[in-house]
Structure 1
Amino acid sequence: MVDWITNEAPKWIVVGTWLILNTIIFAVTFVSYRDADEYYYLRVLVGDSLCWARASAACLNFNVMLILFPVCRKLISFIRGSCGCCPRVLRRQLDKNITYHRYFAYMICFQTAIHVGAHCFNFERLAAAKRVTEENLVNYLSRLPLTPNGTWINPIRVADPDPTREVVKTVAGITGIIITLCLVLMVSSSTEIIKRSYYEVFWFTHHIFIIFFIGFVIHGAQMIIHHQSNLSAHPLPKCAENPKGWGSSECAIPEFEGSMPRSWIWLLVPAIIYCIERIARLVSGLQKVVILKVVSHPSGVFELQMQKKGFHAAPGQYILIQCPKVSYLEWHPFTLTSAPNDDYFSVHIRREGDWTNAVAELCHVDEGEFQETWKMPKLYVDGPFGTATEDVFAYDVSVLIGCGIGITPFASVLKSVWYKFCHPKETVPLQRVYLYWVCPDTHSFEWLQGLLLDLERQMRQRGTVDFLKFHIYLTRGWNANQARNITLHDEGSEYDVVTGLHHKTYFGRPQWEVVFKQLAETHKGQSTGVFFCGPKPLSTTLHKLCNRLSNFADKTKFYYNKESF
C-alpha cells in the first residue's frame, strides 16, 4: 500500500473524485425524475426508463464539458508554467491529461449506451400507449389534443405507430443517431494500432468531434420530453385517479410544456476556452519559421535547426510541425532536442512513413549539402507544449531512460544540465543524473555522441564526474565474437572503443530490476524522478519497479514519468 501511494494514489484520488461526482449527478437526477410530480404522467406512460434516460443525460453533460480541457495544450502548458511553486504531486497530474481524456471518453460511451437504451424503451412504450383502446389513464393521456399551448404529453400522434419510424421523425432521434455514429468512429479510430499504423485516419476521424458537439447541443431542441405545468389546477394524485373527471373545476385538463435544453450551458465555457486556444495556436502556428540548417544523421535520422520570432521553450518540451507541401491538415509532434539557451530550436526526425520521408526529400536531406533558404519547404510550428520532463531538475536524482529515438526528449535536458553547470544562476535540488539508452545498433547514437562527449568533458573539468552517468546498451548489430573483441580492446583503455566516452558500452538489454535495486540502495532516503520514453511493455515494467521499490519508511521514493503527446 505504501509503495502504491507514491505514483498511483494522486491519480486515483482524481479519478475517484470524478467517479463520485458522476455517481452523485446520476443518483440526484434519477431520484428527482422518479419523485417529481410534474413528471408523474410521463412516468405512467414510460416507467422508470425516463429516469434512466435523464440521469445518463446529466452525466453526459458533465463529461462532455470535461473532455475538452485535457486537449487544450496551451492551457495545460500555461498552468504547468505558472504553478512552479505548486506541490509536485499536483503538477504531475497535468502529465496525465490524455489518460483523463480517455477516461472521460469511456464514461461518455457508457452513459450513451444507457441513454440510447432507455430511450428505445421510452419510444416502445409511447407507441404501445397509442394502441391502448380501453378507457384508462394511459388512453386518456395519449388522446390529449395537440395544441399550441403544449397540452400533449405523448409525442407520437399516429394511431398504429412504428417506434423506429417515430424516432427518426424527431430532432432528438436524428441527432442522436448522428452523434452516436460520430462517437463510435472517434473511439474505434483511437485504438493504439490505428494511431501507430494509420495516424492520418485517427487524426481526420477525431475531428468529427465538431459534428458531435453541434448535434449534442441541438439534440434537445425539439423539447419532446414534457412535464406538467398546471399542478395547482390539477393536483396529484387525486386527479389521476379519475381521468373521466378532467375538465371540472376541481381537476382541470392537465397541461404540459417542454423542458428547455441545457446541454449548451454545460458546453459553453469549455467550447469558448477551446476556441480561444485554437485561434491562439493558429496565429502562433502560422508565424514564419526559418530553417537554418539540415543535418543528416545515421539510421535514417535527420535534424532540423530552425528559428521563429518569440519562440521560447523549456527542457523536454515538444512542438507540432506542419508542412503544407505534404499536407495542409497534418500536424506531427516532435520533441525539441535543443536547449533553452541555444539561439535556435531543433528536432530530430526519424524517417518512418510517408510524411517524414516527404519532408526529408523536400529538405534535400540526401543531397548532403544545405540548400539556400528559399529552396527549403515552408514549415509551420505550433507550440512548444509542456511534458513531464520539464520537472527533471525538481528531484534529488533524475533517471533518464530512452529506447532508440526515444532519447530525443533527453537531448534538450542534457544540454540544459550542461548550461546550468557552466553558468550556475540558481540552486536546484538535482544532485545526480543517470542516462540509460537502449540502442538497436552502433549508428543509432552517433548524432548524440558529440553532446555526450562535451558533457563528459565539462564534468571532468569541473571535478563533478559522478554527477552525470551514461549507460548505453547495444541490443543488436553485433555478435558474441565482436562483443568479446571489443571488450578485450577496452581492457586498460581509458575510452570506450565504440563511443569514445569514458563510460563503457554494454551489450544486450539492461536487467532493470538489478539497476533499480542499485539505485534504491545508492540513493536511500532521496526522491528519484524516473523519466521514460519508449515502448509500452517496458513502460509497464519500469512503472511497477518504481512502485515496488519506493519505501515510505526510509523516504526512498521513485516517481515515474512517461513521455506522452
Structure 2
Amino acid sequence: MKIFSESFEFIRRRIFLISWISLVVYIFYSTFIFYLQGRQFYYLRQVLGIGLCISRGTATVLNLSSALVLLPLCKKLNLLLYRLLSGLCPGVFFFWLEKAKSFHMTVAVTLVLFAVIHSVSHFVNLWNFSRGYDEERSEINFANYKNQNPLFLLMSQAGLTGVSMLLIILSMGLTSLRAVRRRLYNAFWYTHQLYILFLVLLIIHPLSGVLKEEVIDDDESLSSHVKHLTNTSSNVPHKFVSIKSHTWLWMAFPLSCFSMDLLWRIFSRNRARVNILQVTYMAGRTMSLTLSCPERFSCRAGQYVLLQCLDVSLLEWHPFTVVKIPESSQSDFFIWIRVKGDWTEALERLLLDRGPAGLNVFIDGPFSSPMEGVADCPVAMCVAAGVGITPFVALLRNMLTNPKTHFPGRIHLLWIVRHEEEITWLADLATKTMLRLRDSNRPDRLHIELYVTNTKDNSNARQNEENIHIVTFNEKQGVTHMKREFTEDEKATLLTPNKKRNGYVAKGVNNEGSNVGEYSIAKEYPLLGCRVRRGRPHWDRVFGYWVHLYPQAHLHLYCCGPKKLVKLLRNKCKYISGTTKTKFTFVHEGFS
C-alpha cells in the first residue's frame, strides 16, 4: 500500500512531464509506423531503409515543438487572457503562468534533442541515396548517379537549410545552459533572436521535394505492388510525387499568435518612452529608478515591465518587477536594479557619467506574473532573497494604504539578505506598515522575519575585541599584569585626531562597494531589529511552525530568489505536503 501511494504521489507531481513525454512518444510512433507500413513509401524505403521512418517521425515532433515553444513568449496575449479569465478561473491562469517557463524549457529541450536525431537520420539518408541509387525508377532518386559524394547532396536547398537550422538550434541550446547564460547573457539574447530565421528555414526546408511517394490510384496499382513484393515482373509504370509538407499547418496558429503579439508590443513600445525622474543608490550596489508613466499605463502588484536603454543596446530588453505601482494621484513608478552583469553595469556608468536626463529609455508592459496571486490569498508565505524582495514591496505599500482590506489576509514574509545594510531598502516601509496595522487593530496581518547570512564582519570584530586585552595570571591564578594592545586601525586613528575613532574602526567596504561592518539595523529601526537573525533559516523549524499554525490548511508559498533556494523550498513543499495534512503549493518567479 505504501509503494502504491508513493507511486501515485510521484505521478501526481510529474503529471505534466509524463503527459508531454507520452504525447511526444505517441506522435513519433504513429508517424514512424505510418511510413514503415505505408504502401506509397515502399520504393522509398527500399532506398533509405529505417532512416526514412526515423527522419519523418522526428520531423513531426519538431513541428509540434517549434509551434508550442512560442506560446509562453506571447506576453501581451497572456496579459489579455489574464484580464478575461482572472475573474472566471484565476487558478487555471496562474497555473499557466507558473508553468510557462518550465513548459518553454521542456519543449526547448525536446526541440534540441529531436533536431539532433533528425539531422543524424538525414545524414544517413544522404549516404543511402548515394549508395542505394535506383536505376529502374530514376524519379525517386535524390542523387544524380550511383555512389555520388554525399557532400554534394548536402549542398542542396534541403541540405543547406537543414545544416543552418541545426547550427541555430544548437547555439540556442548551448547558450541557454545556466552556466553559460549567467556569464554570457548577451550571447544567450542574440542567439535567441535567430529563432524567427529558424522558423522561416523550417518552412522552406521541406519544399525542395527530396522525399517522394508513389501515386496509388486504383486496384491495378495494388496488384502491381503485390507482384513486386513477390519478386515478379510488372510493366505498369510508376508515378512519384514529392511528399506534401504540412509544416505550415503546424506553424499557422502559434506563428500567427506570436506575430500578433510581437506587432502589438512593437507599436506599444513606440509610445512607451519614459523619463528617469530620480535615481537613488541603495546598499548592496542596487539602484532605485523612478520612471514616468507612459499613456494608458496601469499596473497591479507583482507585475513586471521590460526595460530597454537605447544607449546601452538597441535590442536587449530586461525584466524588472514594479516596486511601487502608480496611483491615481501620481504618474510615476519605481523599479529596483541590482548591478550585476554587463548590461546593468553599462547602465550604471551611463547614469553616473551622463545623468538620467540624457538617456533614451523605453518600457514594455506591464506583464502578468505568478506573484499576482499573493494579493488574493487569505494566507500567503513569501520567501525572498536579496533583490527578490521586489514582488512583495508593492504588497506592503498596499497594506500600508489599505490596512483593513480582506485580501491578502495574512502575509508571512521571510527575507534573506547578505549584509544587514540591505535591510534599509525596506526598513522604512516595513516599519510604517507594521505601525499602521497595529493602529488599525490588525497587527497579526504581517509577520516579518529577516536573516543576515554574512557574519564574517561581526566575527572579525569580536575577534579584534578579544585581542585588545591581554591578561596574565600567576601560579595562584591571580592577576599579575593587564595590558591593552591597540589594533592597527586604532593606531592609525590615534595618529589622525580629526577622524572619529568609532567611525574609522566600524566602517569598511566590501567587494560590492557597500559599507559593512558593525552597522545595526536596530539602532535606526528598533521595530525591525528584533526580527533580525544571523545565519540562514532553519527550514525544518520554519515549516514546522507553519504546519503548527495552520493545520490541515492549503497554503501557497511564493518564492523569488536564487536557483538553490528555489529547489530547496520546492522539495520542502513536496515533502511537507506528502507527510502532513497541511498542503503547500509552491509558486516561483525568476527571470534568469
- Tell me the TM-score normalized by structure 1: 0.86
- Which residue of structure 2 aligns with residue 362 of structure 1? 350
Q: CA deviation at 1:302?
A: 1.7
SS at match of 1:349: strand
Query: The residue matched to 1:320 in structure 2 has which SS?
Result: strand
Aligned counterparts, 1:504-543, within 5 A: 504-543=531-570
- Other-structure match for 2:239: 255
Give the SS at the match of 2:14.
helix
User: Which of the residues 430, 436, 440 maps onto 1:458?
Assistant: 436
Match of 2:451 in 1: 473
CA distance in 2, matches of 1:341, 1:418: 14
Partner of 1:305: 290
**Where does 1:95-174 land on structure 2 (aligned, <5 Å)?**
95-130=98-133, 141-145=134-138, 152-168=139-155, 170-174=156-160
Deviation of 1:211 after TM superposition, in Å, equals 1.9
Contact 2:371–2:558, Cα closer than 8 Å, also in 1? yes
Correspondence list, 1:487-498, <5 A: 496-497=522-523
C-alpha distance in 2, partners of 1:350/1:553? Answer: 38
After superposition, the Cα gap between the structure-2 partners of 1:83 and 1:12, relative to the gap in structure 1 and judged at 3 Å, is: farther
More divergent stretch after superposition (205-214 vs 16-25): 16-25
Q: Which amino acid aligns with 1:63?
A: S
C-alpha displacement at 1:498, in angstroms?
Answer: 5.9
Mean Cα displacement is larger for which, 409-418 or 204-213? Answer: 409-418
Q: CA deviation at 1:297?
A: 1.9
User: Would the alpha carbon gap of residues 514 and 290 (structure 1) be closer, same or farther in structure 2, given more than 3 Å must change?
Assistant: same
C-alpha contact (below 8 Å) 2:85/2:93 kept by paired residues? no
- Secondary structure of the equivalent of 1:363? helix
Please give the alpha-carbon distance, in whole angstroms, between the structure 1 residues aligned to 2:15 and 2:429.
41
Which residue in 1 is equivalent to 2:486?
none
Q: What does 1:247-286 correspond to in 2, within 5 Å?
A: 247=235, 252-286=236-270
In structure 2, the CA distance between the partners of 1:160 and 1:61, relative to structure 1 (3 Å rule), is same
Q: 1:173 to 1:112 in 2, by over 3 A?
A: same
Q: Are residues 1:220 and 2:206 paired?
A: yes
> Which residue identity lines up with residue 46 of structure 2 in the other structure?
V
Match of 2:38 in 1: 36
The residue type equivalent to 1:380 in the other structure is: F
1:13 shift after superposition? 2.6
Letter in 2 for 1:547: K
Query: 1:149 matched to which residue of 2?
Result: none
Partner Cα separation in structure 2 for residue 323 and residue 404 of structure 1: 24
Q: 1:320 to 1:241 in 2, by over 3 A?
A: closer
Contact 2:375 2:395 in 1 (8 A): no
Distance in 2 between the 1:88 and 1:291 partners?
36
Compared CA separation, residues 418 and 329, structure 1 to 2 (3 A): same
Q: Does 1:207 align with 2:210?
A: no
User: Does structure 1 conserve the Cα–Cα contact (< 8 Å) formed by 2:403 and 2:442?
Assistant: no
Q: Is the 8 A contact 1:304 1:347 kept in 2?
A: yes
Deviation at 1:294, TM superposition (A): 2.2
1:244, CA displacement in angstroms? 8.2
What is the root-mean-square deviation in Å for CA atoms of aligned residues?
2.6
Quick check: 1:321–1:381 contact (8 Å CA) kept in 2?
yes
**RCO higher in 1 or 2 (8 Å CA, sep ≥ 6)?**
1
Q: Secondary structure of the equivalent of 2:297?
A: coil
Partner of 1:488: none
Equivalent residue number for residue 198 of structure 1: 184
Query: Which of 379, 382, 401 is matched with 1:400 structurally?
Result: 382
User: Whole-Å Cα distance in 2 between the matches of residues 551 and 311 of structure 1?
Assistant: 43
Evaluate the alpha carbon distance shift between residue 361 and residue 5 of structure 1 in structure 2; reply closer, same or farther with a 3 A threshold.
farther
- Report the Cα distance in structure 2 between the residues aligned to 1:286 and 1:459, rounded to whole angstroms: 42
Structure 1 residue 352 displacement after superposition: 2.5
Q: Structure 1, residues 487-546: CA drift from partner, whole Å, max 9, x if none?
A: xxxxxxxx9436332543212211111111111111112222111111111211111111
**Contact 1:320/1:332 (<8 A) preserved:** yes
2:55 pairs, out of 45, 53, 56, with 53
| CA distance 1:392–1:242, shift in 2 (3 Å) | closer
Distance 1:403 1:220 in 2: 49
Q: Percent identity?
A: 27
Whether the aligned pair in 2 keeps the contact of 1:53 and 1:118 (CA below 8 Å) is yes
* Candidates 92, 95, 102, aligned match of 2:95: 92
CA contact (8 A) 2:434 2:443 kept: yes
Q: Is the 8 A contact 1:529 1:560 kept in 2?
A: yes
Q: Work out whether residues 499 and 505 of structure 1, in 8 Å CA contact, stay in contact via their aligned partners in 2.
A: no
Task: Tell me, in whole angstroms, the C-alpha distance in 2 between the residues paired with 1:125 and 1:387.
Answer: 51
**Helix, strand or coil for the counterpart of 1:479?**
helix
Alignment correspondent of 1:412: 394
Following superposition, the deviation at residue 347 of structure 1 comes to 0.2
Confirm whether residue 434 of structure 1 aligns to residue 396 of structure 2.
no
**Partner amino acid for 1:121?**
V
Q: CA deviation at 1:194?
A: 1.9
| 1:381 aligned residue (363, 371, 378) | 363
- So what's the TM-score if we normalise by structure 2? 0.82
Aligned residue identity for 1:109: V
How many corresponding residue pairs? 522
Change (3 A) 1:253 1:244: farther
Deviations 1:36-56 (A, max 9, x none): 111111112222221111111
1:294 partnered with 2:279 = yes
Find the counterpart in structure 1 of residue 502 from structure 2.
Answer: none
State the match for 2:226 in structure 1: 238
The question of whether the paired residues in 2 share the 8 Å contact of 1:290 and 1:308 is answered with: no
The answer on 1:564 being equivalent to 2:590 is yes
Structure 1 residues 450 and 331: CA distance shift in structure 2, 3 A: same
Q: 1:257 Cα shift? A: 0.7
Q: Given the superposition, is the C-alpha separation of residues 21 and 353 from structure 1 closer, same or farther in structure 2, using an over 3 Å criterion?
A: closer
Evaluate the alpha carbon distance shift between residue 92 and residue 552 of structure 1 in structure 2; reply closer, same or farther with a 3 A threshold: farther
Mapped to 2, the partners of 1:53 and 1:523 lie a distance apart of 55
Contact 2:82-2:93 at 8 Å conserved across structures: no
- 1-structure distance, mates of 2:340, 2:48: 56
**Distance (whole Å) between structure 1 residues aligned to residue 418 and residue 441 of structure 2:** 32
Q: CA deviation at 1:444?
A: 0.8
Return the alpha-carbon distance in structure 1 between the equivalents of residues 132 and 590 of structure 2: 54
Write out per-residue CA displacement over residues 260-301 of structure 1, whole angstroms, 9 at most, x where no aligned residue: 211111112111111111111112222231333222222222
Tell me how far apart the structure 1 counterparts of residues 55 and 78 of structure 2 sit (CA, whole Å).
34
3-state secondary structure, aligned to 2:523:
coil
